Amino acid sequence: MHRVLVSMFATLAALPLAFAMPYCGLVPPKPQPRSVAQSSGGNTTNGGNSSSPAQVLATGWYPGWLGGTLAPSNISWSKYNALTFAFAVTTNDPSVISLDAQSATLLPEFVTEAGNNGVSALLSIGGWTGSLYFSTAVGNAANRSAFVKAVTGLATKYNLDGIDFDWEYPNRQGIGCNAISPSDSSNFLAFLQQLKQDPVGSKLILSAAVGETPFMGANGTPMTDVSAFADVLDHIAIMNYDVWGSFSPTVGPNSPLDDSCAPTKAGSAVSAVKAWTSANFPANQVKKVCISPKPAYQTFFCKIALGVAAYGHSFHVTTSAALGSGNINLYPAFDKSQQPLGDSDTSTSASVLDPCGQPEGISGTFNFNGMIAHGFLNSNGTAANGIDYTFDNCSQTPFVYNPTAQTMISYDDARSFAAKGNYISSNGLLGFAVWHVAGDYNDILLDAISDAMGVDQICS
């Protein structure tokens, strides 16, 4: 779930398109065996060139509303080969896509910095609060044509390398007041196919942030065949987070790597990758080799990136429920009525209205750097004095507990990011996508996952 602050919107106009950016790639440090297989678009493989290694994807979302905290010039550009600005949002007019005023000012700077550093610049449309009108925008032929024109106009105006679609969710309610239709997924595919045929759209990197199960079909269950989407999307990023939170019956891991060994199976990276590949994503490329970090060839999922979380969810848990035999108990009960304030919450957060006109409530989320600022972690990312810590070997994620405040946080640290990096490499995923890049501290998480994958940067 990608949340964005609610604010006034600025309408976007079209200007001439100009794509002229250098490109940087992140690759394994040594040449590896590879086949001539390549993905259908974007800058994600080497197209079978045996003289140079294929590329992994190191990307993330840059939150425009935190530009005052992390200016584009301060992003660790050398450690990414693509970054996505969040968000533009859908409107009730399919010919209009909107940015809030702050983002409209910041986006050109973001794109310029990306270009200067040889990194692909994408813009994400949608998010948790910005998906209200996706269904309408792709709902019929006329609207799809208008939406294609709006998207390409957006890319033209801001000189973008690509567009990321963060529809939360086709034929499934997200925030609570999204327009939805049984035909959402088929209409989304028709729109993407039309966009891919457009003179401007055909030049764009097209990606999608997706849930842990494939797009919902007309019958209200996940589609069993999403192979056609792989023909028009350069990659998907599975949002493997918000699996457990304040909406759950008990405390649980925010971003579990695995849940096959968990007492309650709510979803994980392992199960999500299995769900998408079982539904034939990425099409007939599942059995082709993109690149292998091991000596032998193996199956590689060339178009699937794993979404990873630089934040965690907090819970109010009594000491008796949280601690047992000197260790943190996993999956304890918590008191929803005493939700702790997250690092961006204030005393008035509960009364802020979302786009549906309902109170947003207290998020209770802590960015990794916020956990350091609020005393849960030391500056090196380890648990601070007086804070209990445990690492769940099933989900491969940590938990901390402050017995004084009776606050437990499920989050990710360097160890869990390294575990996800190892999983990405050993299972042949395309790479990772961090939500969000302003949540890290001194690149502790970013370095952990990149080091685990063993990647180097090359630029051309």
Domain annotation for the chain: domains and CATH numbers: 57-309+413-459 (3.20.20.80), 312-411 (3.10.50.10)
**Is residue 357 scored above 60 in pLDDT?**
yes
Bridging pattern class, strands 57-63 and 429-435: parallel
Question: Could you give the CA distance from residue 233 to residue 277 in angstroms, rounded to a whole number?
Answer: 15
Which pLDDT does position 301 carry in this prediction? 59
* Reported pTM: 0.88
**Is residue 45 scored above 60 in pLDDT?**
no
Question: Closest by alpha carbon to 100, among 76, 130, 128, 72?
Answer: 130
12: confidence class by pLDDT, cuts 50, 70, 90: very low
Pair 66, 434: CB distance under 8 Å: no
Question: Could you give the CA distance from residue 272 to residue 306 in angstroms, rounded to a whole number?
Answer: 9
Q: What amino acid is encoded at 327 in this protein?
A: N
1: confidence class by pLDDT, cuts 50, 70, 90: low
Which pLDDT does position 27 carry in this prediction? 55
Q: Which residue has the tokens 């609570």?
A: 176
Q: What amino acid is encoded at 263 in this protein?
A: P
Which pLDDT does position 26 carry in this prediction? 62
Angle, vertex CA 82, rays to CA 449 and CA 143, nearest 5? 125
Which pLDDT does position 456 carry in this prediction? 72
Nearby residues of 457 by Cβ (< 8 Å), 6 or more positions away: 24, 25, 26, 27, 78, 79, 81
Q: Looking at residues 403-419, what average pLDDT do you find?
A: 98
DSSP 214-269: PPB-TTSSB-S--HHHHTT-SEEEEE---SSSTTSSS---SS-S--TTSSS----H
Question: Could you give the CA distance from residue 173 to residue 1 in angstroms, rounded to a whole number?
Answer: 12
Q: Looking at residues 75-104, what average pLDDT do you find?
A: 97
- Least confident stretch, 5-19, 224-238, 341-355, 392-406: 5-19
**Is residue 285 scored above 50 in pLDDT?**
no
Which range of 19-28, 42-51, 237-246 scores highest in mean pLDDT? It is 237-246
Question: Could you give the CA distance from residue 143 to residue 141 in angstroms, rounded to a whole number?
Answer: 5
Question: Could you give the CA distance from residue 314 to residue 355 in angstroms, rounded to a whole number?
Answer: 24
**Is residue 108 scored above 80 in pLDDT?**
yes
Question: Could you give the CA distance from residue 12 to residue 98 in angstroms, rounded to a whole number?
Answer: 6
**Is residue 337 scored above 90 in pLDDT?**
yes
302: confidence class by pLDDT, cuts 50, 70, 90: confident
**Is residue 406 scored above 50 in pLDDT?**
yes
Which pLDDT does position 223 carry in this prediction? 98
Which residue has better confidence, 176 or 2?
Answer: 176
Question: Could you give the CA distance from residue 5 to residue 307 in angstroms, rounded to a whole number?
Answer: 21
Q: Looking at residues 417-422, what average pLDDT do you find?
A: 98
Bridging pattern class, strands 235-239 and 301-309: parallel
Which pLDDT does position 250 carry in this prediction? 98
Question: Closest by alpha carbon to 68, among 97, 114, 105, 115?
Answer: 105
**Is residue 63 scored above 50 in pLDDT?**
yes
Mean pLDDT rounded to a whole number for the chain:
87
